Amino acid sequence: MHTYSKTDPILWTGRKSGQQLYLHEKVICVDLNSEQVPITNGRSWAILGYACDEGVKRNEGRIGAALGPDAIRKQLAKLPNHLRENTLVLDTGTVDCQDGDLKKTQTVLSRTVTQLLQQNAFPILLGGGHDIAYGHYNGIKRYLATEGINKSVGIINFDAHFDLRSNQTNNNSGTPFYQIAQECKLDQSKFRYMCLGIREDANNSSLYGTAKDLGVSYVDKTNFNLLHFNTIKDKIAQFAKEVDYIYTTIDLDGFSSAYAPGVSAASPMGFSPEIVLECLKIIIASKKMISFDIAEMNPTYDIDHQTAKLAASLIHFVIHQSQ
């Protein structure tokens, strides 16, 4: 059974000010089955959960990411609100996968992303496995097609893994960008994909070969740090020039487990938050980011909510930096 559900407002609790000094006091929970996204003359941020770890299970990862969206919500709720009064922060519910049918769950997610974009809301998706990317991207693509917008979409992925595994056996959390690449071939569009933080110990030689064949741009973990930021900045800026929109996705397992122990595939060899924040500034400054997600939050293995707090702080940074 596939379900979409409105978020229980009790998840959004924290210190009370009575003056909307905290995000839990500003957020509005919306049921997309029966309500329209509120209209504002400012910006609307629409949080949407993807409670699914079926793709992680198929990819032989540690399950538990289905609990990720609510874990992030609880930590985001406590953070301070510095947004303009006419900026809306909406919680637009969660798409669940309760019967192992990943394809249908991704279809529901895709349609919901399209719906949010059509209602002039900026989607912020909370995962869930990185198979979130396939449904998310197709939701953007469907929106552009529905609106008759002939524009290109580039993907920037912060990740240790290419996630370019073949889906010949099944779709999973390691196949989303391969699936997107194959569909780009079918509709004769260019596959535009940049991956930041790639680790040699997390990708076999076949995946590097696939990345080369597909023209994937990437920065390996050895060079993904502030010492090499000028080079990284130039690569991101050039990528942004070549596309009309940017879909940004962050896989939390790309971070060192010192920062993000609560993920499906943890490693101490990952990158740090500082380089990601600096890169996000460049992406946001391009004014081309159309949608954003965070994947692989797994509270089953988190320590003192550290990973959930990292995810919440990344979202907090994106919405405030974008004002």
User: Which among 314, 288, 239 has a CA at the least distance from the CA of 75?
Assistant: 314
Q: Exposed (0-12), middle (13-18) or buried (19+): which is 215, by Cβ within 10 Å? A: exposed
Q: How far is CA 98 from CA 46, 54, 264, in A?
A: 23, 9, 19
How far is it, in rounded angstroms, from Cα 51 to Cα 303? Answer: 20
Binding residues for Mn(2+): 130, 159, 161, 163, 251, 253
Contact assessment for residue 279 and residue 288, using Cβ atoms and an 8 Å cutoff? no
Annotated binding-site members: 130, 159, 161, 163, 251, 253
- State in Å, rounded, how far the first CA of the chain is from the last one: 39
**C-beta neighbour count of 258 within 10 angstroms:** 11
CA distance 99 to 53: 11
| Architecture of the CATH domain 4-322 | 3-Layer(aba) Sandwich (3.40)
Locate the DSSP E strands across the chain.
Answer: 2-5, 28-29, 44-51, 88-97, 122-127, 153-158, 193-198, 217-220, 245-251, 289-295
| pLDDT computed for residue 249 by the predictor | 99
187 contacts: CB under 8 Å, gap ≥ 6: none
**pLDDT on residue 2:** 56
Residues 253, 207: contact at Cβ < 8 Å? no
154, exposed or middle or buried, with CB in 10 Å at 0-12, 13-18, 19+? buried
The DSSP 8-state label assigned to residue 120 in this structure reads T
Candidates 79, 142, 137, 96; CA nearest to 3 is 96
For the chain, domain boundaries? 4-322
For residue 3, the model assigns a pLDDT of 84
Question: DSSP class of residue 121?
Answer: -
Q: Is 205 helix (H, G, I), strand (E, B) or coil?
A: helix
pTM of the model: 0.97
Per residue of the chain (323 residues), give pLDDT as tens.
458 999 999 999 999 999 999 999 999 999 999 999 999 999 999 999 999 999 999 999 999 999 999 999 999 999 999 999 999 999 999 999 988 999 999 999 999 999 999 999 999 999 999 999 999 999 999 999 999 999 999 999 999 999 999 999 999 999 999 999 999 999 989 999 999 999 999 999 999 999 999 999 999 999 999 999 999 999 999 999 999 999 999 999 999 999 999 999 999 999 999 999 999 999 999 999 999 999 999 999 999 999 999 999 999 999 999 99
